Amino acid sequence: MLQILASRGDLVLLRDSVEWEGRSLLKALIREVALKGEQVQVLGCEVSEEVFREGLDSDTNSRLVYHDIFRDPQGWTGNWGPLGILRACLRGAEPGPCTLAVDSLSWLLLHAPCSALCQTLRALGHDNSHPGRVRVLGLLHEDVHGPGPLGALRSLAQIEVTVGGNLGFTTAQVFHPKPRHRSIEQTYWFSILPNFSLEFHKEPLLEPRPHRGPQSPTVDAMADLTFNVHLSKKEREARDTLALPFHFSSEKQQSLLHPALASSTSQIFYEPDADDYLDQEDPDDDLDI
């Protein structure tokens, strides 16, 4: 997955959701860039500098320049517009290759017009002091925006990484939209360690579901059943040969077609009890039929 950091002049879009946050992945990618000895400019809109630097090693932190708009997003204590500082981020950067991490594009989208943000992002890639050598990592909360702004930013991005999860593991779907070529989509399974290094799981771990809580000894659910769950071969054969009452067979057909035959062979015997009261009168005598 780290080849997404190989190309330059790109906007890499990290899409996350409330369930699966992408800031950890952003910090992990920043760490990878810093390990190569590059300086990283961070535009921090949603968390404070201390929180963002938390967990990163001192080497990474020394290469990280944090531009803080978290503390004063509206300039209530005297400040400037959000897009102004986005442009200003690169002014103080060292000449040469440069990485700008935006935390987050969602915040900028809420505070600036979408078209102005797209133009500014586009202009960053063609910055005169870093021609074609600026890489922008932008975090985007996709559940905050409508399809319009999302589509606009997606059209600018060369690489999209969607953070998600399955079976307790985090996944990153990397999507390279390539005009005139077939786009590439790959899924990576990974986890982020407390020092923000990435740990990849090479094979998709589909079946092992992590055990919930301490492992309990397995109990045989069929041990004390009062009925048979399975049939033996003999029992199965006996069941198969049994004719069910609702099955229509030729014998049944015969018996229905010749009911007289059946009735002539049967008789009804009636023996009254000694104490039975027998009324000798005709019960229908009064009907005058």
Partner 1 sequence: MFPELNNLLNVSPDKPEQGKFTLLCDAKTDGGFLVHHFLSFYLKANCKVCFVALLQSFSHYNIVGQKLGVNLIAARDRGQLVFFEGLKSTVEVLFGSKEQPNTLKFIRESSSDLKSLYEFVQKALTPSGDGSATSWKFPVLLVDDLSVLLSLGVEAVAVLDFIQYCRATVCCQLKGNVVALVHDSDQTEDEENAMLMNALGHQSSLILRAEGLVTGFCKDVHGQLKILRRGLLQPKSEQTRSLIYQYKIQDKSVTFFARGLSPAVL
Judged by the rule CB under 8 A, the positions of this chain that interact with partner 1 are: 16, 18-21, 24-25, 46, 48, 50-51, 70-74, 76, 104, 106, 110-111, 141, 143-146, 163, 165, 167-170, 190-194, 199, 201, 210, 212-213
Closest to partner 1 by CB, 57 vs 72, is 72
Closest to partner 1 by CB, 88 vs 167, is 167
Q: Identify the CA nearest to 31 among candidates 53, 3, 6.
A: 53
Q: How far is CA 28 from CA 5, 32, 94, 173, 198, in A?
A: 12, 6, 22, 16, 6
Instruction: Give 11's strand partners.
Output: 136
Q: Would you give the DSSP letter of residue 3? A: G
CB atoms < 10 A from the CB of 172, how many?
23
Closest to partner 1 by CB, 69 vs 98, is 69
Cβ atoms of residues 27 and 16 within 8 Å: no
Closest to partner 1 by CB, 21 vs 38, is 21
Closest to partner 1 by CB, 10 vs 103, is 103
Beta-sheet pairing, 184-192 with 169-176: antiparallel
From the CB of 265, what's the least distance to partner 1, in Å?
A: 57
Residues 6+ apart with CB under 8 A from 55: 27, 194, 195, 196
Closest to partner 1 by CB, 98 vs 117, is 117
From the CB of 43, what's the least distance to partner 1, in Å?
A: 15
From the CB of 227, what's the least distance to partner 1, in Å?
A: 24
* Distance from C-alpha of 135 to C-alpha of 33, rounded to nearest angstrom: 10
Closest to partner 1 by CB, 98 vs 102, is 102
Instruction: Give 65's strand partners.
Output: 41
From the CB of 71, what's the least distance to partner 1, in Å?
A: 5
Residues 6+ apart with CB under 8 A from 201: 169, 189, 190, 191
Closest to partner 1 by CB, 51 vs 123, is 51
From the CB of 107, what's the least distance to partner 1, in Å?
A: 8
Q: Would you give the DSSP letter of residue 199? A: E
Q: Which two tokens stand for residue 64?
A: 């990280």
In single-letter form, the type of residue at position 72 comes to: D
Q: How far is CA 256 from CA 70, 251, 261, 272, in A?
A: 89, 9, 10, 32
* Distance from C-alpha of 189 to C-alpha of 167, rounded to nearest angstrom: 11
| Placement of tokens 């019960």 in the chain | 283
From the CB of 123, what's the least distance to partner 1, in Å?
A: 24
From the CB of 6, what's the least distance to partner 1, in Å?
A: 23
From the CB of 116, what's the least distance to partner 1, in Å?
A: 15
